[in-house]
Each structure stands twice: as structure tokens, then as C-alpha cells.
Amino acid sequence: MNVEKVRGFMKENKIATFTILAYLVVLIYSPSLFLGGLKMTSIYFMEMLEILPAVFIVMGLVEVWVSRDTIMGIFGKGAGLKGRFASVLVGSFSAGPIYAAFPVCYTLLKKGSTVSNIVIILSAWAVVKIPMLIVEAQFMGLPFMFTRYIFTVPAIILIGMITGKVISKEYIVKNSSKEGLLVEKIDQELPGHNCGACGYQSCWETAKKIIDGEEDPSVCVPLDSENKDKIEELVREKHR
């Protein structure tokens, strides 16, 4: 194997590298623990396979079909108290662990939701979703479940409001490695004539479409092959 390649992989996939190393250490220390870990992981993996494809398909459809105005009306600045309840509701009817909520909330944020409503959805998704409440009532009893619910809903609305005060939407756009900076980088590689041959009004807009995976860099007519390679490299960077 090529050393450079391995080093590149380690740099791009820090968590994966860490996980592999951890497993290797455990394998040397105790093969039975190693197998136990793998077995446990496979249970989680199956859970992920059940939920994530459906979540992503729904989000892909939302991204393409639902307009910014609609999302803004429900979860945006003007939605007020109604927006907070809508957020609790969306989180309550979700499925899957919190990591499935991150991409969903990110899409909603891009489409005009406020930061505080995103946090409310994330939290409700995590702690008061309906399947969870049902299991909870079964094992811990109805009074436990009910009291926890009564305390938790106001708490998550408060957490949302505070986070919304402390963190601006601009901060997230700037610091998310999912987009933001990448759009700027791609925009720099595009010719910058805003010629419109691709069907979009500006190169910036095209850059956003390319990052979203809705368009291929080849949509840009005057793009030379050197810049095209660079853009493709940036798109790959996004998927890391």
C-alpha cells in the first residue's frame, strides 16, 4: 500500500482512523472483547440501515420540492411560538438517534429555519420522540414518563432560545464544513463571468448547486479542465 495514500486517508477520516486503532489495540489485548465490540456494532449498524435511507430520501425530497418560503413560514423568525411547537412536533414524530437529526436540521436551517428552532427539533428528536415515550412508559411506568415529559418540553424550548441567542446563523454557515466555505472555494474556481450558460444567474448560485450535488461541474460551459479538477476535488472534500 502507498504510504502517502494511507496518510491521506488518516487525515481525511480522523474518527475512522481512531476507531480502527482502538479496535486493533483491543484485538491485541483481548480477541473476545474485539469480537464483542463488533457484535454490538452490528446491532447499531442494522438500526442505522433501517432509518437513515428513509430519512435521507425524505430530506432530499424536501430540499427539492419545498420552497424556502414554506420552511421559513413554519420554522422561521416570524413563526414565533407556533414555530416552537411545530419544532417539538417534528422532533416527536421522528425516528432514529440524534445523529440522524443533524442532516435534517441542517437542511431546514439552510431553508430558513431559525437556530433556536433547530435546537428544539434536535432535542425533541433526542428525548421526547413518541416511540421512546412508549418504551419508557412500559419500563419505567406512566408517572415517570409523564413527569419527565412535563419537565423536558419547557426545558428544550429554553435550551433552544438560549442557543439561538448565543449562536448566530452566520456562525453556523461559516463554520459548517458541510457548505459555506466550500461554496466560496468553488466559486473562486469558476470563471466568474456570471454568463448564465449553465442556467443559473450567477457563478455563486452554480457553486451552491454543485456543492448540493444537484449539478455536475460540467454544467459550467467555459470551465477549463484544470479548474474542473479542482472543483471535483472540493466536492469530494465535502463528502469526507
Partner 1 sequence: MDVTTIGLIVLAVALLIWSTLKSKSKTKKSLKVAGNMFKGIAVEIISILALIGLFLTLVPPETIQMLLGDTSVGVATLISASFGTVTLIPAFVAFPLAASLVDAGAHLVSMAAFITTLTMVGFITAPIEIEYFGKKFTLVRNVLSFAAAILISLGMGLIL
Residues between 10 and 39 that touch partner 1 (CB under 8 A): 13-16, 18-19, 22-23, 26, 33, 36-39
Q: How far is the CB of 193 from partner 1 (least distance, A)?
A: 25
- Spatial distance between the Cα atoms of 101 and 125, rounded to a whole number of angstroms: 7
Q: Angle at the Cα of 208 (from 13 to 190), degrees rounded to 5?
A: 95
86 or 109: CB nearest partner 1: 109
6 or 54: CB nearest partner 1: 54
Q: Does 5 bind partner 1 (CB under 8 A)?
A: no
Contact residue for partner 1 among 73, 205, 212, 230 (CB under 8 A): 212
**Can you say whether residue 164 is alpha, beta or left, with left for phi > 0 and alpha for psi between -120 and 50 degrees?**
alpha
- Spatial distance between the Cα atoms of 47 and 159, rounded to a whole number of angstroms: 28
Q: How far is CA 221 from CA 93, 201, 225, 227, in A?
A: 44, 14, 11, 12
Contact residue for partner 1 among 50, 184, 224, 233 (CB under 8 A): 50
87 sits in which H/E element: helix 80-92
Q: How far is the CB of 40 from partner 1 (least distance, A)?
A: 4
Residue 116 near residue 166 (C-beta atoms within 8 A): no
Name the segment binding partner 1 (CB under 8 A); options: 78-86, 188-196, 210-218, 224-232. 210-218
Q: Pick from 216, 125, 138: which is nearest to 206 by CA?
A: 216
Per CB under 8 A, contacts with partner 1 among 136-175 are: 136, 138-140, 143-144, 147-148, 151-152, 155-156, 158-159, 162-163, 166-167, 171-172, 174-175
152 or 202: CB nearest partner 1: 152
Can you tell me whether residue 15 is helix, strand or coil? helix
Q: First and final CA of the chain: distance in angstroms?
A: 21
Q: Does 204 bind partner 1 (CB under 8 A)?
A: no
Per CB under 8 A, contacts with partner 1 among 54-83 are: 54-61, 63-65
Q: Does 230 bind partner 1 (CB under 8 A)?
A: no
119 or 190: CB nearest partner 1: 119
DSSP symbols for 122-133:
HHHHHH--HHHH
Contact string 103-142 vs partner 1 (x = CB under 8 A): x-xxx-------x---x--xx--xx-xxxx-xxx-xxx--
Total of residues contacting partner 1 (CB under 8 A): 92
Q: Angle at the Cα of 94 (from 58 to 61), degrees rounded to 5?
A: 10
